[in-house]
Amino acid sequence: MTDTNQAENPGNTPPADDKLALAWTHTARFLTTASQLDQLPPTELPEIAFVGRSNAGKSTAINTLTQQKRLAFASKTPGRTQHINLFELGPKLAPDALFADLPGYGYAAVARDAKVRWQKVMADYLEIRRSLAGVVLMVDPRLGFTDLDRQLLEFVSPRVGNGSVKLLVLLTKSDKLNRREADKAVATAQEVLGEMTTEEADVAVSLFSALNKKGVGDAACVLYDWVRNAA
């Protein structure tokens, strides 16, 4: 597993620099929205899914990474993202990747059967979306890994374990942590992920803040490398 600050690059291309990677993420534009899995367009493009607890900061992270104010809808009200929103990246005539903003799970006010339903959608998405190239799991380190985060990791672990899906865990809202808390959050995350790390697995952890932009360039580089190495 890598801490992106000292990331090695096992692929054949040298690591991307921030500027190039951020220019690429900036090309993101809205493609489509789906309320059901069978409405997702078939695609050959490598897809990167942003997943995590409701309110963890998924939509905000997409806006920050793409340097666009309102590409994905972010909100103070948890549960804002109800559909799967797809964004296309790369040259307009030759798109090279998709970002998927997924609805958050585990918000307390959501009824139990809605939660169960969502778990099923999530599991099915991760199972059937063969074009899935990477998962960005957003975890608020002040809340830690929840049961649903761990379940999600279990759903993806076969594909992460064999290297067909890459995983980046972003510890969000890191602007709210002091240095000691931030170090501890990274260590805890590495421990949780250690369980699913194999020879083939490409798993990284990074602190992230949309507010002070910590980890934004690093995260963009990781995603850019995934897509370049998938091509």
Can you tell me the distance from the alpha carbon of 211 to that of 173, in angstroms, rounded to the nearest whole number?
A: 7
b (16+ CB within 10 A) / e for 1-36: ebebeeeeeeeeeeebeeeebbebbebbeebeeeee
Q: Which stretch binds Mg ion (CB under 5 A): 19-27, 79-87, 107-115, 173-181?
A: 79-87
59 contributes a contact to Mg ion by CB under 5 A? yes
Q: Give the SS3 label for residue 95.
A: coil
Binding mask 29-58 for Mg ion (x = CB under 5 A): -----------------------------x
5 or 75, CB closer to Mg ion?
75
60 or 202, CB closer to ligand GTP?
60
The site partner of 175 among Mg ion, ligand GTP, none (C-beta below 5 to 8 Å per kind) is: ligand GTP
Q: How many residues bind Mg ion (CB under 5 A)?
A: 3
72 or 201, CB closer to Mg ion?
72
Smallest gap from Cβ 213 to ligand GTP, in A, equals 9
- State the first-to-last Cα distance of the chain, in angstroms, to the nearest integer: 22
2 contributes a contact to Mg ion by CB under 5 A? no
Tokens of 88: 């296309």
Tell me whether strands 84-89 and 97-101 are parallel, antiparallel or unpaired: antiparallel
The site partner of 103 among ligand GTP, Mg ion, none (C-beta below 5 to 8 Å per kind) is: ligand GTP
Give Cβ neighbours of residue 220 (< 8 Å, ≥ 6 apart): 16, 18, 21, 22, 24, 25, 65
53 or 129, CB closer to ligand GTP?
53
- Residue 197 near residue 10, CB atoms below 8 Å: no
30 or 163, CB closer to ligand GTP?
30
- Residue 35 near residue 121, CB atoms below 8 Å: no
The site partner of 76 among Mg ion, ligand GTP, none (C-beta below 5 to 8 Å per kind) is: ligand GTP
85 contributes a contact to Mg ion by CB under 5 A? no
With residues binned 3-state (H G I as helix, E B as strand, rest as coil), the percentages for the chain, rounded to 5, are: 40, 20, 40
The footprint of Mg ion (CB under 5 A) covers: 58-59, 81
